Each structure stands twice: as C-alpha cells, then as structure tokens.
Structure 1
Amino acid sequence: MKKMTTMTLVACFAALVGCTNMSSGQQGALSGAAVGAAAGAGIGALTGGHAGTGALIGGALGGVAGGIYGHNK
C-alpha cells in the first residue's frame, strides 16, 4: 500500500508539472484523472477491494469529469 501511495503521488506531481502547454480542458482531464485514480485506489484499498481496479475506475471517471469541467471553465 505504501508503494502504491508513493507511486500515485509521483504520478500526480509529474502530471501537474507537465500541464503548462495544455488547454484548460486537457488540464482538467489530466488533473481529474490523477485525483480520481488516487481516490479510487484509496477507496478500493480501504474497503477491502482491489486498489488497482479502484484506480482504473476512479481515473476514468475523474478524467471525464475533469475534462468537462475544464472545457466549460
């Protein structure tokens, strides 16, 4: 679990640093996917499910929601 958390934090940091030349919709999608994956992995691990599956589902939903939010911003 500790390794997964560290890897997720590194991925989130790398995604946020690389957002300088993106449109607001792309930035929203990337940020939403990162936050959604982290939240999904955490929820999946805490509820006794599979953290990887939670990360995939959370990342997909977060990316869609973030893209919509960033596009409308």
Structure 2
Amino acid sequence: MKDDLKGLCLFLGMLSLGYLALLMAVAIFTGAKLYKGTFLIGLVAAGLITFGLNSRVKTRLVDITKSLVAR
C-alpha cells in the first residue's frame, strides 16, 4: 500500500509539473501575470515528488546537487 501511495504522489507531482510548464508557456505568450499560481503549483509539485521518492534516490540527488554546487 505504501508503494502505491508513493507512486500516486509521483504521478500527481509529474502531472502538476506538466501543468506548470503549460501555465508558464501561456504566461510567456500572453503576458499574463501568474506568479503566485505558478509558485504555489511548483511548490506542491516539488513536495509531492519529494514525498514519492525513496530515501536512496533522495540521498543520491542531494549528493549530485552538492557536487555540482562545489564546482
């Protein structure tokens, strides 16, 4: 059951990232100011994706990020 919940969180996170990309494209092409909405959707998407990942993947991503920042 826990794996199903993690999979659902990953799916919803990726779906909201797709929606965020579409929303940003609309904002760029129309000049609409959607800053608060895009920030909120991005925050929720990042939270869902982070919740859906297992601990090994999280530590690997943190290590890669730290190595890129250290350069």
Q: TM-score, normalised by structure 2?
A: 0.40
Which structure is higher in helix share? 2
Q: Which has the higher contact order (CA 8 A, sep 6+)?
A: 2
> Which protein is bigger by CA-based radius of gyration?
2
